[in-house]
Amino acid sequence: MGGASNSITACINFLALLCTIPIVITGIWLASSKQGGEECARLQARWPVAILGGLLFLVAVAGFAGAYWNRKGLLAAYLFAMGGLITLLLALLVFAFAVTRGSGAYEVPGRAYQEYRLEGFSAWLRGYVLDGEGDPRRWGRIRACLAASDTCRKLAGERGSAFFVAPQQFYQSDLSPLQSGCCKPPTACGYAYVAPTAWTSPAASPGGGADAAADCGLWSNDPGQLCYGCASCRAGMLGALREQWRRASAALVAAAVALIVVYVIGCSAFKNAHTEDLFRRYKWPNNT
């Protein structure tokens, strides 16, 4: 009975160990992502996922060892620590969903791609692309990183120029948030298409509000300038980060749900094993 109970508890804790692996992988992916220029903005909230995933993995290893070698003290410590870490994971997920709730995206008539405005994102996210008292040169560094990345170079390269022969082909393309916000002027500016990153100035004054008008004056056909100084580029960066977080959150939620289910089963198995141990220790001797 005791050996079977220990084996069941060890198997349950091994399942808990497996459930932590997707969290670790997602955390590492978030912390080290180098795709599409998104690495230019390092959010402080990226590393906590990797650290929390690592702690969950270590605690799960301790729980499996405790169950495998029948160390009741180690198992009790594992259950206590795992409960706290799962609570932190849920709190982090709630926070991530709260700050990425607004997308900042809006549809443009006659365009397949979306454009982005800063006002549509949460104040917490906007703080990472607006120069503040804590870091007055933050966007300057992000801007330099974007200019050095291949975000717009891919769009303006030989493949892009060959693919977008006519303006309508470009208008119906699926641009990423960064390409939409940083590599071209906002549609409201009224610029005429020449190439993916080359546009001619409109004859009339731009519409679309103060932000769009300010962006229109900042646009340059210079590959090192483009719209990297525009509010639309900052919004595009937030749109790219939001998409990344949303993809990661889907994996984290699935792993968290599985981990909670296995954890509850593990608590029940530990309780039953402890009850059997007490019964065997104090009840059976009286029957001999």
Which tens digit of pLDDT belongs to each residue from 114-145?
999 999 999 988 888 886 655 668 888 889 98
pLDDT of residue 288: 44
pLDDT above 50 for 170: yes
pTM, two decimal places: 0.83
Contact 196, 164 (CB under 8 A): yes
Alpha-carbon span 192 to 188, nearest angstrom: 11
Three-state DSSP string of 137-203: CHHHHHHHHHHHCCCCHHHHCHHHHHHCCCHHHHHCCCCCHHHHHHCCCCHHHCCEEEECCEEECCC
β-pair partners for 106:
115
Q: Answer for the pair 177, 116: CB distance below 8 angstroms, yes or no.
A: yes
pLDDT the model gives residue 232? 94
Greater confidence, 131 or 18?
Answer: 18
Residue with tokens 């089963």: 265
**Nearest-CA neighbor of 56 among 38, 29, 82?**
82
